[in-house]
Chains A and B, each alone.
Chain A
Amino acid sequence: MEILLALLFGVLLAGAVYLLLARSLPRVIVGLLLLGNAANIAILAGGRVLGTAPPLVSPGAQALAAGAANPLPQALVLTAIVISFGLTAFVMVLAWSVWKGEAVVDAEALRSAEPPALPSTDPVEAAEAEPRAEAR
């Protein structure tokens, strides 16, 4: 079972790296999702796959019975899933607002924060070129 999880981890990681290197923002976001899930699989495998019985201590007993699942990685993965859900939602809205504002999904074309040209030495041009907050 751990071998299977390790293989799955590798496949997810490879897919994530491939997508993260893409220039299109939606692909990058899917890459981030795969990377987060690869990390969750790593935590699950790190906790060993001990069994499938729910990790509940039966009345009167002091410890978990044999064959019970390890509860700690499940708690960790649950926390990580919630966090990555929130962060991914934010990045998706961000990408959508970039698309709405500039009609760009190509990461290469996102140049407004760091214009590629040399800094202008002409005072008027320089004052116009600097990034500004947008009045709402």
Chain B
Amino acid sequence: MARLADWLLALPILLPLLACAGGAALRASPRAQRALTAFAALAMLFASAALVAVVHPGGPIASQMGDWAPPFGITLVADRLAASLVLITAVMYAACALAARGDAELGEAEPLWHPLLGALVMGVAGAFLAGDLFNLYVWFEVMLIASFGLLVLNAGAAGRDAAVKYAVLNLVATSVFLIAIGLAYGLAGTLNLADLARRLPEVPNQGAVAAVAFLLLAAFAAKAAVFPLFFWLPASYHTAPAPVGAIFAALLTKVGVYALIRLFTLVFPGELPWVGPLIGIAAALTMVIGVLGAAAHWEIRRILSFHIISQIGYMLVGIAIATPLALAGAVLYMLHHIVVKANLFLAAGAIRRAGGSFSLAALGGLWRRDPWLGLLFAIPALSLAGLPPLSGFWAKLLVARSGFEAEWYWLAAVALGTGILTLYSMLKIWLEAFWKAAPEGVAEPPALAGAERLWLLAPVAALGLVTLVIGLWTEPFAAFALAAGEELRARDAYIAAVLGGTP
């Protein structure tokens, strides 16, 4: 007998699965594929909004698939963090499906794009909802194989080269994760996250527990593109078509960050004294090296790729400090960053179409040609740099404030300094692409107009609106993030929701 909660937890996985399987079957008919993807994205949006509405006042919910008693079966769990990430994943699904409509680079590959996008979204939603370490691994793999497929859609020499690096480095990280799963099972006899949280402190060999924690940290740090394990990301993201780059930039690294938050708040909370400082140092280096890498580049998507790395550092600051306020900062930062970064990649695609290139040297004069594009680029760009009153400002404020309150002054200072360098990169794109005169000798592409302009700019405008809403009407989002931070820190409600009993 399925309850409402079971459906709410299963639907965000089942709907993209439907779009994936149906899309693969309907390859001959692009119209039917588009309709199916649009239906799945909208239905997922409603289902995950309902999930957030259940979880936000009510606390975590869990569901045992196939009615196996916990901790033996497959468990799906949603707390505030997971539910909000599923909702934002649905938003990204809808936005990128819309963006693909206007993207010429995707072109003939569109019949493959729909099923692969469905599979990717299914893997991401599954990873957010998984209540079990091995299921987390399986969802990671679903996401990974779909991302391989998306990366080589219409790939030229550069795309294949990028896919080799992306695939090999991610497979190594996956294998490290799998080895850690084997060791964790050997130590605790369970892989259910809530059950692991209960059993691991009772394991006599705490040295081995620390080794498992370190292996998991390394594996997810590689997935999240944390220094020094980020090299797959700037090698690959800039070769994909704009909608693919946008969904990658929005979701893939964030699943790694989510896994780190989940593990180091639920399974290993504060028992390992080295974790906080280690993640803190990694966070500082990730922020600084990412932003310096971006400063060195003159191709829009490569600049944006390095900024993903730099911004991952901010989320790690929250995990390192691990007070409820810091975790709230990390949660708000993730939600803000997913929207803004996808938006920047989509805007980069529109800039490429309007200006003919991704290289800043070959661009120029776009403000005169299309001021609306400039405005729509400026919203996420300034939000990324953390200018008030946009969403990035509030996210950075929470992170920096938690750093000062917990007396991690150096980390808060690095975070604020990185913000200034981020602003430098965004202004560089702005000045070169929009403000300077168009360079001599480069052929101008035909002006962006009519239906094509609408399809390219509509998702950018929609995501820009989300950024503005989070920025100007912050109160409910901040309250949600603070509640999520408290919930992550308390962790009893999560364990009780999965294993039964009262918190």
Question: Which residues does A use to contact B, with CB under 8 Å?
Answer: 20, 25, 28, 32, 35-36, 38-48, 72-73, 76, 79-80, 83, 86-87, 90-91, 94-95, 97-98, 101-102, 107, 110-114, 119-127, 129-134, 136
With A32-B172, A133-B105 already in contact, the answer to whether A42 and B179 are too (CB < 8 A) is yes
* Minimal beta-carbon separation of B197 from chain A (angstroms): 18
Contact yes or no, A136 B186, CB < 8 A? no
**Please, which residues of chain A bring their CB within 8 A of the CB of B362?**
123-124, 126-127
Query: What CA separation (Å) do A80 and B492 show in the bound complex?
Result: 31
**Please, which residues of chain A bring their CB within 8 A of the CB of B167?**
87, 90-91, 94
Cβ-neighbour of B164 out of A94, A120, A121, A127 (below 8 A): A94
Cβ-neighbour of A76 out of B154, B175, B181, B234 (below 8 A): B181
Contact yes or no, B359 A113, CB < 8 A? no
**Please, which residues of chain A bring their CB within 8 A of the CB of B21?**
none
With A35-B175, A76-B134, A120-B359 already in contact, the answer to whether A113 and B168 are too (CB < 8 A) is no
Per DSSP, are chain B's interface residues mostly helix, strand or loop, or mixed? helix
**Please, which residues of chain A bring their CB within 8 A of the CB of B141?**
83, 87
**Please, which residues of chain B bring their CB within 8 A of the CB of A125?**
361
* Minimal beta-carbon separation of A129 from chain B (angstroms): 7
Contact yes or no, B234 A42, CB < 8 A? no
With A32-B171, A113-B165, A126-B298 already in contact, the answer to whether A133 and B183 are too (CB < 8 A) is no
* Minimal beta-carbon separation of A69 from chain B (angstroms): 15
With A32-B171, A119-B298 already in contact, the answer to whether A127 and B359 are too (CB < 8 A) is yes
* Minimal beta-carbon separation of A135 from chain B (angstroms): 8
Interface flag for B402 (CB, 8 Å): no
* Minimal beta-carbon separation of A97 from chain B (angstroms): 6
Contact yes or no, B442 A47, CB < 8 A? no
**Please, which residues of chain B bring their CB within 8 A of the CB of A44?**
182
* Minimal beta-carbon separation of B205 from chain A (angstroms): 13
* Minimal beta-carbon separation of A35 from chain B (angstroms): 4
Closest residue of chain B to A127 (Cβ to Cβ) is B362
**Please, which residues of chain B bring their CB within 8 A of the CB of A123?**
359, 361-362, 364, 439-442
Interface flag for B120 (CB, 8 Å): no
* Minimal beta-carbon separation of A6 from chain B (angstroms): 11
Q: Can you list 9 pairs linking A and B with CB atoms under 8 Å apart?
A: A83-B138, A101-B160, A102-B160, A102-B161, A113-B165, A124-B442, A125-B361, A126-B359, A132-B156
Contact yes or no, A86 B182, CB < 8 A? no
Query: What CA separation (Å) do A73 and B182 show in the bound complex?
Result: 8
Cβ-neighbour of A130 out of B160, B168, B299 (below 8 A): B299
* Minimal beta-carbon separation of A76 from chain B (angstroms): 6
Contact yes or no, A113 B358, CB < 8 A? no
Query: What CA separation (Å) do A45 and B148 show in the bound complex?
Result: 31
Contact yes or no, B108 A39, CB < 8 A? no
Closest residue of chain A to B441 (Cβ to Cβ) is A124
The 3 closest A-B pairs by CB, nearest first: A46-B186, A131-B158, A42-B182
* Minimal beta-carbon separation of A26 from chain B (angstroms): 12
Contact yes or no, B157 A134, CB < 8 A? yes
Closest residue of chain B to A41 (Cβ to Cβ) is B182
**Please, which residues of chain B bring their CB within 8 A of the CB of A119?**
296-299, 359, 361
Interface flag for B145 (CB, 8 Å): yes
**Please, which residues of chain A bring their CB within 8 A of the CB of B171?**
32, 35-36, 87, 91
Interface flag for B423 (CB, 8 Å): no
With A38-B175, A120-B359, A126-B298 already in contact, the answer to whether A46 and B164 are too (CB < 8 A) is no
Interface flag for B185 (CB, 8 Å): yes
Query: What CA separation (Å) do A124 and B443 show in the bound complex?
Result: 9
Contact yes or no, A39 B155, CB < 8 A? no
Cβ-neighbour of B160 out of A42, A46, A94, A107 (below 8 A): A94
Per DSSP, are chain A's interface residues mostly helix, strand or loop, or mixed? helix
* Minimal beta-carbon separation of B176 from chain A (angstroms): 8
Interface flag for B398 (CB, 8 Å): no
Closest residue of chain A to B352 (Cβ to Cβ) is A130
* Minimal beta-carbon separation of B322 from chain A (angstroms): 28
Interface flag for B162 (CB, 8 Å): yes
**Please, which residues of chain A bring their CB within 8 A of the CB of B187?**
46
Query: What CA separation (Å) do A73 and B362 show in the bound complex?
Result: 56
Contact yes or no, B299 A45, CB < 8 A? no
Of B148, B178, B439, which is in contact with the most chain A CB atoms at under 10 Å from its CB? B178
**Please, which residues of chain A bring their CB within 8 A of the CB of B440?**
123
With A32-B171, A120-B361 already in contact, the answer to whether A110 and B154 are too (CB < 8 A) is no
**Please, which residues of chain B bring their CB within 8 A of the CB of A32?**
168, 171-172, 175
* Minimal beta-carbon separation of B458 from chain A (angstroms): 22
Query: What CA separation (Å) do A112 and B160 show in the bound complex?
Result: 9
**Please, which residues of chain B bring their CB within 8 A of the CB of A98?**
160-161, 164
Query: What CA separation (Å) do A131 and B9 show in the bound complex?
Result: 41
Query: What CA separation (Å) do A50 and B162 show in the bound complex?
Result: 45
Query: What CA separation (Å) do A113 and B174 show in the bound complex?
Result: 23
Cβ-neighbour of A127 out of B241, B296, B357 (below 8 A): B357
Interface flag for B422 (CB, 8 Å): no
**Please, which residues of chain A bring their CB within 8 A of the CB of B105?**
133
**Please, which residues of chain A bring their CB within 8 A of the CB of B359?**
119-120, 123, 126-127, 129-130
Query: What CA separation (Å) do A45 and B183 show in the bound complex?
Result: 8
Contact yes or no, B160 A97, CB < 8 A? yes
Query: What CA separation (Å) do A20 and B168 show in the bound complex?
Result: 9
* Minimal beta-carbon separation of A116 from chain B (angstroms): 12
Closest residue of chain A to B443 (Cβ to Cβ) is A127
* Minimal beta-carbon separation of B64 from chain A (angstroms): 17
With A119-B359, A124-B362 already in contact, the answer to whether A134 and B155 are too (CB < 8 A) is yes
**Please, which residues of chain B bring their CB within 8 A of the CB of A134?**
154-157, 159
Cβ-neighbour of B157 out of A41, A90, A102, A107 (below 8 A): A102
